[in-house]
Structure 1
C-alpha cells in the first residue's frame, strides 16, 4: 500500500479509482466491510482501491473540547489499513483552511481532479465537507456532473449491534475490553516504550514495567489480564491502569507485570493486549494488604489467560 501524505505527490489521476472517505478510527469490522467493498469494486473495474482520511481528526481542529480520544494512534491506523490490502491511503492534512472548503470543491478538485475517482463508496449517514454538506444526496448530484458512481452502504452490524467507533470508545472507556472484541474485530492493545517508574513493584515482590504510550484512549482504571508482546514473543501478565491511590501518586500510569519473564526490557517497545478486566483500582490499608491483593490478581489473571489467545489484526483480516 502506498501512503500519500501530500497531494502534490500525485502527478496524474489514479486508474479508475474506487474511493472511500472517512476518519476510520479503530479500523473496526464495520470499516473492514467498507474496505472489502472498495477492493472488490476496484477489482471488478480494473481500478485501484483508495482510502482517504484526515490528520488530525477534524474535531481536534474544529472543536477540541468535543474531540474524542482516538482508539488508534495514527501509526496504528496506517498499519491496520495496510493490512486490509488497499492500494492507496491518502492522508489529508486537516486545518481550518481545508475545513472551509465546500464539499463540491473537495469532490471536484481532490477526489475527481487529483485522485481520478470513478466510484465513491461511503458508510451509512456519512458526510464530509464544510457543515457536513457532502451527504449522499449532494454526492449523487455531483456524481452525475463529474461522471462517478456513488454507493452508500447500509448500517453494518453483527446482528444486534451496529459497528461504531463511538460505541467502541464507550466500551473501552468503561473497561469492557472483552466485550469490545466482536465489534473491534481484535483485542484492544496499547503499545509503548518501557520506562523507569517508582520502582515500588520490585520491593513488593512484583516487578512491573512502566509503559509510556502515545495512546489517547485507555481502558477504565483497574487491573486487567493481558498478553504482552516482547520481541514477537507473547507473555502472560497483569496490567494496572491508574494513579496508585495507596501511595497517593499523581498522574495516570500503565504498569505491566510479566509472568515467568526474565530479562531487561527498559527502553524496549512492547504491546499489551487486553483480554479481560479483573477489578477496579482500590486503595489498600497497608502494603501487606496490597501484596495479598496483587497475588490474588495474578492468580485470577493466570486462570483467565490459560484459556485465552490473542486476536491480532493479521488474524482477524484472514479469510
Structure 2
C-alpha cells in the first residue's frame, strides 16, 4: 500500500478507482467490511482501491474540549488498512480551514477532479464535508452529474450491538477486553517503551516492565491476562493497570509481569495484548497481602492464557 499525506501528492488519473472515505478509528469488523468491498470491486474492475481518511481525527479539531480516546494511532490505522490489501491510502491533514470545505467542492475537486472516482463506497452512518452535508442523497446526485456510482453499506452487528468505534471504546474502557474481540476482530493492544518505575515489583518477587505509551484508550483499572510481543518473541504475562492504591500512588501506570522471563529490556518497545480481565483494582492492608494477591493473580492468568490464542491483524481471518 502506498500512503500519501497531501491531496496534491496523489497521482491523477488512477485506473478505475474505487474509493471510500472515513475516520476508520480502530479498523474494526464494520470498517473491514467496507475495505473488503472496496478491494473486491476494484479488483473486479481491474482498477485500484483508495481509502481517504483524516489526521488528526476531525472531532479533535471540531470539538477540542470533548476528550476523544482513539483506538488506534495513525501508524496503527495505516498498518491495519494495509493488511486489508488496499492500494492507496490518502491521509488528509484536517484543520479548521479544511473543515469549512463544502462536500460538493470536495467531491468535485478531489474525488472527481483528482482521483476520477468510479465508485464511492461509504458506511451506513458516515457523512463528510462542512456541516456533515456529504450524505448519501447529495452524493448520489453528484454521482449522477459526474458519472460515478455510490454504494451505501448496511451496518454490521452481532444481532445486539452495531459494530462501531464508539462501542469498541466503551467496552475497552469498561475492561471488557475479551468481549471486544467480537467487534474489533482482534485483541486490543497497546504498544510502548519499557521505562523505569518504582521498582517495587522486584522487591515483591514479581519484576515488572512499565509501559510508556502514546495511546490514551486504556482499559479500566485492574489486573489482566496478557500476551506480550517483544520483537519476534511472544510471552505470557499479567498486567496491572491502575494507581497502585496500596502504595497511594496518584499517577496511572501499566506494569507487566512476564512469565518465566529474566532480561533487561529497558528502552525496548513491547506490544501488550489484553486477553481477559482477572479482577478490578483493590487496596490491600499491607505488602504481604499484596504479594499473596499477586501470586493468585499470576496463577489465574497462567490458567487463562494456557488455552488462549492471540488474535491480531495477521492471524484474524477477517483482515
Q: TM-score, normalised by structure 1?
A: 0.98
CA distance in structure 1 between the aligned counterparts of 2:196 and 2:251, rounded to whole angstroms = 15
Distance apart, 1:155 and its partner CA: 1.1
The aligned counterpart of 1:97 is 97
The aligned counterpart of 1:217 is 217
The aligned counterpart of 2:277 is 277
CA distance in structure 1 between the aligned counterparts of 2:318 and 2:104, rounded to whole angstroms = 37
Deviation digits for residues 217-264 of structure 1, max 9, x if unmatched? 010111000011112111110001111111111211111000001211
Spell out the pairing of 1:2-17 with structure 2 (5 A cutoff): 2-17=2-17
Are 2:246 and 2:283, in contact at CA under 8 Å, matched by a contact in 1?
yes
1:267 to 2:267 alignment: yes
Distance apart, 1:318 and its partner CA: 5.8
Say which SS state the counterpart of residue 313 (structure 1) adopts: coil
Q: TM-score, normalised by structure 2?
A: 0.98
1:153 to 2:158 alignment: no
Deviation >6 Å, runs of 4+:
none
Distance apart, 1:145 and its partner CA: 1.2
The aligned counterpart of 2:166 is 166
Say which SS state the counterpart of residue 249 (structure 1) adopts: coil
Deviation digits for residues 37-56 of structure 1, max 9, x if unmatched? 10111111111001100000
Deviation digits for residues 163-209 of structure 1, max 9, x if unmatched? 11111110000000000011100011111110111111101111000
Runs of 5+ in structure 2 lacking a partner? Answer: none
Are 1:20 and 1:51, in contact at CA under 8 Å, matched by a contact in 2?
yes
Deviation digits for residues 263-289 of structure 1, max 9, x if unmatched? 111111111111100011111111111
Spell out the pairing of 1:60-75 with structure 2 (5 A cutoff): 60-75=60-75
CA distance in structure 2 between the aligned counterparts of 1:63 and 1:174, rounded to whole angstroms = 24
Deviation digits for residues 131-190 of structure 1, max 9, x if unmatched? 100000000001011111000001112343221111111000000000001110001111
Shifted more, 61-70 versus 236-245: the winner is 61-70
Are 1:84 and 1:317, in contact at CA under 8 Å, matched by a contact in 2?
no
Are 1:83 and 1:314, in contact at CA under 8 Å, matched by a contact in 2?
yes
CA distance in structure 2 between the aligned counterparts of 1:183 and 1:308, rounded to whole angstroms = 18
Spell out the pairing of 1:196-211 with structure 2 (5 A cutoff): 196-211=196-211
The aligned counterpart of 1:240 is 240
CA distance in structure 2 between the aligned counterparts of 1:71 and 1:245, rounded to whole angstroms = 27
Spell out the pairing of 1:295-314 with structure 2 (5 A cutoff): 295-314=295-314
Distance apart, 1:86 and its partner CA: 0.3
RMSD between superposed Cα atoms in Å? 1.1
CA distance in structure 1 between the aligned counterparts of 2:159 and 2:86, rounded to whole angstroms = 26
Distance apart, 1:315 and its partner CA: 1.2
Are 2:239 and 2:255, in contact at CA under 8 Å, matched by a contact in 1?
yes
Runs of 5+ in structure 1 lacking a partner? Answer: none
**How many aligned residue pairs are there?**
319
CA distance in structure 1 between the aligned counterparts of 2:33 and 2:11, rounded to whole angstroms = 30
CA distance in structure 1 between the aligned counterparts of 2:318 and 2:171, rounded to whole angstroms = 25
Distance of aligned partners of 1:67 and 1:118 in 2 relative to their CA distance in 1, 3 Å threshold: farther
The aligned counterpart of 1:26 is 26
Are 1:118 and 1:149, in contact at CA under 8 Å, matched by a contact in 2?
yes
CA distance in structure 2 between the aligned counterparts of 1:23 and 1:138, rounded to whole angstroms = 20
Distance apart, 1:125 and its partner CA: 2.2
Distance apart, 1:312 and its partner CA: 1.0
The aligned counterpart of 1:47 is 47
Shifted more, 11-20 versus 230-239: the winner is 11-20
